[in-house]
Amino acid sequence: MKKHLLLGLAIIIGSNIAAMTGVVVNRSGEPTSHLTLTERELSLPYNIGAKKENSGFSFSINWRTPTQSDKSYSPYSSKDIELTKSKLLALGFDDMDNQQSSFSQSLELYWAFEFDGALHDAEIQKAAAKYQEALLAFEEQPNDKNKRTEKQLRNNLSREKISKSRLFYIEAAADYEYLIAKYSDQSNILIAKGLANYYHYSNNKKNETYSVYLKNLSVENIMIPLKYIDVFSGLSRANRQEIQPPRYSVNINWGSRLEPWIVNTERLID
């Protein structure tokens, strides 16, 4: 019994040492990325109100994929990215042409994101164009259906400007250095690790679909140190359907292991 107890303690201590070593390694040297995100990109936990004042909690990271360049605005973000077969193979996925329909095993890749840049500007422009179409239709035919559509698209535009995430997925790669070199001149780029599946569907030789499904970031949540918890006192998780400006901002570094940690926080609205 004593032997098993000592073995269990040794495992726990070893795990803690490994975790602490990982933190030190990650935070050594210059950060690989630094961003100041807000509530738009960082959601409070659902049960924050039930937590004690001295208990820790973590943010979940909200990221999106942009509307395809040849498509009109959509408020929904798809995590299914269609790619060519050659690009999928370059990512490191196995060739599954001999299967009729199949998902691959998850593969960890490097993901590049753009924060509050051209991709978000394009979403606003697309949302504005779609709203203008609805507004014109309502002015020409002011019926109930057109009124509802005009209101819905007006709200979509407002959310895009005020409350939706501005962190947009750009691309994935198997080579970290490739992404670093490609986006070295942009300060609003984040490179992190994420898991993805390769999906291939074929119903005949002339109709094949190759896609990557973006499952999740390898580190999906960012723990809030206890010293910053007072900043979020009295706040509850925001309803994503509501249109309200962010109530807090958070300075975040990503380290050598591409793992995030919080540098500072600020309350924006009392």
- Spell out the domain ranges in the chain: 31-114+167-267
Mean pLDDT, all residues of the chain: 86
pLDDT of amino acid 265:
96
Q: How far apart are CA 120 and CA 150, in angstroms?
A: 22
pLDDT at 138: 97
127 contact partners, CB below 8 Å, separation of at least 6: 73, 75, 153, 156, 157, 160
Spatial CB neighbours of 98, under 8 Å, sequence gap ≥ 6: none
What is residue 206's predicted lDDT score, i.e. its pLDDT? 63
Q: What number of H helices and E strands is found in the chain?
A: 5, 12
Burial zone of 46 (CB within 10 Å; 0-12 exposed, 13-18 middle, 19+ buried): exposed
Spans in the chain with pLDDT lower than 70:
1-23, 47-56, 96-103, 202-207
Rounded to whole angstroms, the maximal C-alpha distance in the chain is 83
Q: What's the pLDDT score for residue 175?
A: 96
SS3 90: helix
Cα–Cα distance for residue pair 125/222, rounded to 1 Å? 31
| Residue type at position 132 | Q
Give the per-residue pLDDT at 123: 97
Residues β-bridged to residue 2: none
User: How much is the pLDDT for 210?
Assistant: 84
Residues 6+ apart with CB under 8 A from 168: 63, 64, 65, 66, 113, 114, 115, 117, 119, 120, 123
d(CA 261, CA 24): 11
Cα–Cα dist 68/80, whole Å: 12
Residue type, 265: T
Q: What is the pLDDT of residues 133-164, one digit of tens each?
A: 999 999 999 999 999 999 999 999 999 999 99
